[in-house]
Amino acid sequence: MEKRLQTILARAGIASRRHAAELIESGKVSVDGVLVAEKGMRVDPVKHEIAVNGRLLPGEEEKHYYLLNKPAGYICTVTDTHGRRKISDLFTRVNVRLYPVGRLDKDTTGVIIVTNDGDLAYRLQHPSFKVDKEYIVTISGSITSREISKMRKGVDIDGGVSAPCEISEIRKTRDNTILRIVIHEGRKRQIKQMFEVVGCRVVLLDRVRYAGLTSGKLKCGEFRKLTEEEIEKLKRI
Ligand code: URA
């Protein structure tokens, strides 16, 4: 991904942004061997060699982007001291250190992006980007339309009132009710907490869409590479 040269130098720990601008203006920075004078220049650090005072910056890692259909029973933390199964265990044949974008609870299934692109991961999780997350929720028993409308407007959970969301009932079975809910936030156990407020217990939670991506043909536990087009679309969010 192209970034401003100043930003690249600052992120590589070479200098503060202001000092990086000074280094560029004083002709100390080169891209592919050519000295640069324009501090606003945009460069892809994976594709080009950047040097300061003739010394190359450590190359940026190639970025990898996957979509996983997470199975139940796997945690989303990168390291775990309790010997639990982690989603990184599913990626052992991919020889790169990857981490999930956000978290799904151990018992939650569904789509999650797994990448080593920290910038994109940060942006997708930042509340200001309002990324759509759609879930199919199975609750024990039933729920009234008044309770649904209360959740739609926002309920008081850890960290304050949840933002307005879309929520609708799909169907009822003898013991359960199945609903569709779309939220933009990503607070810890958010959906379970929202249902708890109206006295309902979530028994199954499946994320069917994240930032426009759905599991499609991916079976539970399978993953695929994101296409260039999908990656570009995520970067434009
Ligand atoms: N909300 C939850 O309660 N759990 C998840 O895993 C995701 C959203």
CATH of the domain at 50: 3.10.290.10
Please check whether residues 9 and 32 belong to one and the same domain. yes
Q: What's the total number of domains in the chain?
A: 3
Q: Which domain holds residue 171?
A: 132-210
- Percent of the chain whose pLDDT exceeds 70: 99
The tens digit of pLDDT for each residue in 130-150 reads 999 999 999 999 999 999 999
Q: Is 104 in the pocket of ligand 1 (CB under 6 A)?
A: yes
- Cα 211 to ligand 1 centre (Å): 16
Residue 119: pLDDT band by 50, 70, 90 thresholds? confident
Question: How confident is the model over 219-232, as pLDDT tens digits?
Answer: 999 999 999 999 99
User: Between the CA of residue 225 and those of 38, 91, 211, 214, what are the distances in Å?
Assistant: 36, 12, 15, 13
Please determine, for residue 32, whether its predicted confidence score (pLDDT) is greater than 90: no
CA 202–ligand 1 middle distance (angstroms) = 10
49 and 99, same domain (yes or no): no
Q: How far is the CA of 173 from the centre of ligand 1 (A)?
A: 22
pTM of the model: 0.80
Q: What is the mean pLDDT of the chain?
A: 92
Would you say 91 and 223 are in contact if contact means Cβ atoms under 8 Å apart? Answer: yes
Q: What's the rounded Cα separation, in Å, for the pair 110 and 191?
A: 14
Catalytic residue of the set 44, 80, 89, 105:
105
Among the atoms of ligand 1, which is closest to the Cα of residue 189?
3
Q: Tell me, yes or no, whether 105 and 159 share the same domain.
A: no
- Say yes or no to pLDDT of 215 above 80: yes
